[in-house]
């Protein structure tokens, strides 16, 4: 495992409320320092005689390797999430947050509270995807060694003092507000897509599988409202409210969900249903592929629930 320092993918001059000097210092000194420290640690590990090395040396080097590695990875994610310049959140990501937290606002309140609670201390606030049940969770980390097992971070807020002191001094809350204003939601959404797609491949179902399954249309509420057709035998349920209707599904039947293209909406919904103990899969290609295959559609009923 070899890491090289990644160049900033953003123009620090364009960030709102964060100075170029702060961002470049953070990148060069703290992130760059972590990459160099990791290389040095790995160099020491390569020379180690594992059969004779004292346990304190093994423990020390492997602990420092973990700290440096997580510092590198989280710093790279932190910088990758900047550059939004007030960018609006992608609707599909808003749906994912609503499905996990109840609403985007509820997610924001929790994320903000966690960030400000770390002010004056050290640590990270991470928005993390959990493959086990397809949900998103805000994760607290007091240092670089704390991670959610199996989780995939998609948004990282650095709350170590080096991330804000040059601009804000002890006013960590002001730094936090500036960070929130600069989130590149398209980058966060891309990370979410990659996480969901990578974790859901084993739960793919073909179009022929739908005939014997409980078929559920989980297109986003706005998309479904605009649609005129659906697959015969399907019922629509809101993917933002899986917890409200999962218990109504038959535990002994296979369940197949579909969205428009078979991307993260249906995939994550299937994973959430599996988290409720149901045998759920998503339809590859969604209703779009179904229609292109010449399969039948019916007019959407006036009442769907």
pLDDT tens digits along 131-183: 999 999 999 998 888 889 999 999 999 999 999 999 999 999 999 999 999 99
CB 266 within 8 A of CB 96: no
- How many helices (H) and strands (E) would you count in the chain? 12, 10
CB 194 within 8 A of CB 188: no
Instruction: Give the CATH class of 206-299.
Output: alpha beta
Structure tokens at 270: 């299937």
- So what's the pLDDT on residue 304? 61
- So what's the pLDDT on residue 302? 73
- So what's the pLDDT on residue 120? 76
What is the residue extent of each domain of the chain? 12-199, 206-299
- Confidence grade of residue 303 (pLDDT, cut at 50, 70, 90): low
pLDDT tens digits along 243-293: 999 999 999 999 999 999 999 999 999 999 999 999 999 999 999 999 999
CA 127 to chain centre: 6
pLDDT score of 39 more than 90: yes
Instruction: Say how far apart CA 210 and CA 256 lie, in whole Å.
Output: 6
Domain 206-299 in the same topology as domain 12-199: no
Instruction: Say how far apart CA 250 and CA 215 lie, in whole Å.
Output: 12
Q: Which of the listed CATH numbers 3.50.50.60, 3.90.1410.10, 3.90.950.20, 3.55.40.20 matches domain 12-199?
A: 3.55.40.20
pLDDT tens digits along 60-79: 999 999 999 999 999 999 99
DSSP readout, 105-171?
HHHHHHHHHHHHHTTTS--EEEEEEETTTTEEEEEEESSTT---TT-EEEEEEE-SGGGTHHHHTT-
**Residue whose entry in the numeric block shows the structure tokens 């197949």:** 256
pTM, two decimals, is 0.93
Report which of 202, 222, 208 is spatially closest to residue 295, judged by C-alpha positions: 208
pLDDT tens digits along 121-140: 889 999 999 999 999 999 99
């Amino acid at each position: 495992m070899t890491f090289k320092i990644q160049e900033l993918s953003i123009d620090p001059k364009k960030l709102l409320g964060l100075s170029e000097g702060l961002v470049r210092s953070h990148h060069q000194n703290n992130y760059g320092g972590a990459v160099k420290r990791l290389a040095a640690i790995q160099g020491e590990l390569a020379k180690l005689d594992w059969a004779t090395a004292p346990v304190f040396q093994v423990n020390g080097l492997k602990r420092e390797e973990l700290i440096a590695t997580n510092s590198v990875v989280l710093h790279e994610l932190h910088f990758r999430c900047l550059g939004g310049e007030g960018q609006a959140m992608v609707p599909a990501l808003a749906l994912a947050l609503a499905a996990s937290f109840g609403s985007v606002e509820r997610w924001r309140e929790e994320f903000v509270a966690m960030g400000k609670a770390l002010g004056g201390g050290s640590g990270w606030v991470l928005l993390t995807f959990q493959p086990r049940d397809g949900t998103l969770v805000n994760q607290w980390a007091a240092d670089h060694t704390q991670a959610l097992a199996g989780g995939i971070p998609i948004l990282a807020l650095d709350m170590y003092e080096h991330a804000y002191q040059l601009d804000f001094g002890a006013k960590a809350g002001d730094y936090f507000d500036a960070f929130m204003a600069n989130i590149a939601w398209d980058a966060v959404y891309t990370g979410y897509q990659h996480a969901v797609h990578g974790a859901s491949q084993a739960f793919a179902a073909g179009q022929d599988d739908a005939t014997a399954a409980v078929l559920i249309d989980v297109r986003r509420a706005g998309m479904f409202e605009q649609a005129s057709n659906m697959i015969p035998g399907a019922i629509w349920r809101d993917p933002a409210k899986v917890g409200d209707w999962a218990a109504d599904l038959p535990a002994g039947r296979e369940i197949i969900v579909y969205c428009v293209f078979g991307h993260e909406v249906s995939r994550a919904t299937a994973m959430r249903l599996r988290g409720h103990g149901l045998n759920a899969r998503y339809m590859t290609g969604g209703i779009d592929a179904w229609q292109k295959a010449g399969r039948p559609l019916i007019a959407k009923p006036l009442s769907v629930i």
